[in-house]
Chains A and B, each alone.
Chain A
């Protein structure tokens, strides 16, 4: 792990910059949620685009005392990778339940301070019949600028219908609205509690359209079964944390409807 050149603390999380983040246009978020769509998609992006990690995110209050070893190098469990206009946040370890909201606020605030134009969240939308259907992509935007970005997705991608969102992205969306941050959330139908590489591939195809960065998902599809095996423990941990956050509320209709 290289020496930190700059360190900033937001909401109990330290953003430790040991490389050159610069001012990327997009920050793609791969936070664990339904189907582990975010972590699978962000991991694939980093590998296929050959991105370099430049920022580590650490919290001795909200994250377990874990260090990740990759190729003999010690790394932070949460990292931001960058290449040209695209930055990607990779999450290897889920924070404790009480650390999810501070992390979500910290990400939005860090992006705002660093002048990142768009936050793009990649996540899953639990669909009980996902095993018998192809995943459909949905989007949700926090500002008119983010809505313009979504226009590139085309007519086949729908705006998220009325409902409730529970979890890290719910806080990210609310904080983005409050702070005027352009956030676009891409959600794909996915398995509820089984890692879903196919759903991750669908969100990556959507990301390619909105950012113009071409991402080949063929390797992701070929390795889907291996990934599902590798991520079984992470899926279990994520389900546990999300259940404690009240994820079950997503499966009911809102009081006011359009």
Chain B
């Protein structure tokens, strides 16, 4: 029997995610996939893979996991309190998990959503070319306690543990946005008001859209006025009926009628989805800069990986060790 990852307990919103199903929007299916795609690329870099594989997305809260064969797991995205058989282990890392050992992943310490990616990926049966659960259209479902997920072969199950220095993206900040087909319907004053406002993530946020709440008067409000619905995609910023902006998420619908002021720069989507309710966000129009190819992205990430010098099991003050390694991160990944 091939290896499985057993879920001993599950947080409320765990799903299997990969990079989703591009190319099916004409048939009404949005791409879906991980909310923070960078976290899957980070996992691929840590695991020495040539492309992201399917892992577990863990919004807010993780779970307890064990495996039937030795495998590595990468822990990426929002930092979460994690331990292996009770010993704290660092986040932004890849570690070996032996059969019988229990990996516990608690709540996020900053950001919104962490990821657990096994060394060979989760090998569930793909649907339409992807293993990603798409809750909105009922492909796949939330993961639950006692579930067992098939694992792909980890070709380096005993590789020494590694850690990744990450650029900060878990506390909000400024988000670059790009113009879209309806941007010019908004007046310069409306654009200025939108750029000047400070937003936080609202409670009506999920994998379909992220609600942007603000104390500022919504001068950017715009009535749709009978416009025919148009193609929409993740990152688009819809201005809904009462002026509340919603940033469309991975599981958004494929056509919609609300006016859209612009689209989040794809490189800033991870920062947007990782901003918790307390983290202020603001938006600023920017020019489209070319995105790195997958290979370029992996090369840059690999340069930020270092061996975890000591076995985590032998380091008594591991939490402080992790904090030191975390704050040394530069923002080199965001610079060209």
Q: Do A and B bind each other?
A: no
Q: Which positions in A face B, CB cutoff 8 Å? A: none
Q: Which positions in B face A, CB cutoff 8 Å? A: none
